[in-house]
Amino acid sequence: MRSFMGRDILSLKDFERQEFFRVFEVAEQLEPIARNRRNVDLLKDKTLVTAFYQPSTRTRLAHEAAMHRLGGHVTGFSDAKMTRAGDWYQESLKDTVKMLEFYGDVIVMRHFQKGAPHEAAKWASIPIINGGDGWGEHPTQILTDLYTVWRERGHIDGLRWLAVGDMRMRTMHSLGYALTQFDCPITYVAPPADALFLGSPDMQMPEEYKADFRQYALDFNEAEHVEQVIAQADVILVEPVMQPDYTKARDERKGETGLTPANYKITRELLTGKAKSDAILLHSLPRMDEIPTDVDITRWSRYWQEAFNGVVMRMALLALVLGAME
């Protein structure tokens, strides 16, 4: 197995099977620190740089909290408009990254351009962690989701996954790449073009990713309505179908967004009537109305545990790429 020290975390397409388990093992070792709300000095001499060109709540704060829990320091920006990359100069990604690498030991980047963290990694002499790149990938979120399932079930192989929502989402792409390393069939339920309203985009899994998944022998299929397939699912991962444009630095809401059709909605009635009693319901958040709030206290919901595990997973990744754990 390759060392994580000094390594970029850009895509789960790059991960080997045993590397997933190593990350899970380190996360499990570090989890009591976060659970007991303690700080340690594991990374006391290290600094995390956050470079967020797109809004974030969980990803940025989870990385920052993780660094603080391990005794490290944090600097960076959460709004590119307040940097020279977002004003009159439009400073290039290369020039920005070449500066940031002098300010810390690892950079976590979110960007509206697909592939931007990969480009940054070409220029940086320190590790780059992809915190989400446009419609590309979101590897640390799916590592969090897999860890949540692994901690509860003790395994991932053999579990049937159901992915519901917009398959253009970066989380869905990272999930597909991750599951190529496990014995896990997955069903996608997503709106085709014009399904939400006349002119609404095709939200089904893009062909470029389907081609990759076939090449890596992922067992996947598609369905039209969540009711048709939820009874077989062990893990249900949901994303909204009412989305901003992830290719923009910021997409403000204008007027009403509309409601999520029943095909792509997980209600308490649906879970009670058709889901397995021990199925795990995940959502990376934020949500719209695709999971009503009355689902929050049901036995299926795990998205709050998922949010906690987001800190734990980032603790593990930071400890590994900075060489504090092997």
| Residue 317 to residues 168, 239, 249, Cα–Cα distance (Å) | 25, 24, 26
Is the residue at 3 inside a domain?
A: no
Judge contact between 108 and 50, C-beta under 8 A: yes
Same domain (yes/no): 149, 296: yes
Give kind and range of the element (H or E) at residue 77: strand 73-77
Do 86 and 110 lie in a common domain?
Answer: yes
Are the C-beta atoms of residues 54 and 110 closer than 8 Å to each other?
Answer: yes
Domain extent for 19: 12-138+307-321
Q: Enter the tokens of residue 181.
A: 């390393």
Asked whether residue 102 is assigned to any structural domain, the reply reads yes
The model's pTM: 0.94
Predicted confidence pLDDT, tens digits, the chain (326 residues): 899 999 999 999 989 999 999 999 999 999 999 999 999 999 999 999 999 998 889 999 999 999 999 999 999 998 877 777 666 668 899 999 999 999 999 999 999 999 999 999 999 999 999 999 999 999 999 999 999 999 999 999 999 999 999 999 999 999 999 999 999 999 999 999 998 888 889 999 999 999 999 999 999 999 999 999 999 999 999 999 976 666 666 656 566 667 899 999 999 999 999 999 999 999 999 898 999 999 999 999 999 999 999 999 999 999 999 999 98
Q: What is the CATH number of the domain that holds 276?
A: 3.40.50.1370
* Separation CA 274–CA 174 (nearest Å): 27
User: Does 74 lie in the same domain as 21?
Assistant: yes
- Which residues have a Cβ under 8 Å from the Cβ of 14 and sit 6 or more positions away? none
Residue pair 108/101 in contact (Cβ under 8 Å)? The answer is no
Check whether residue 147 and residue 274 sit in a common domain: yes
The reply to whether 126 and 152 lie within a common domain is no
211 occurs within a structural domain: yes
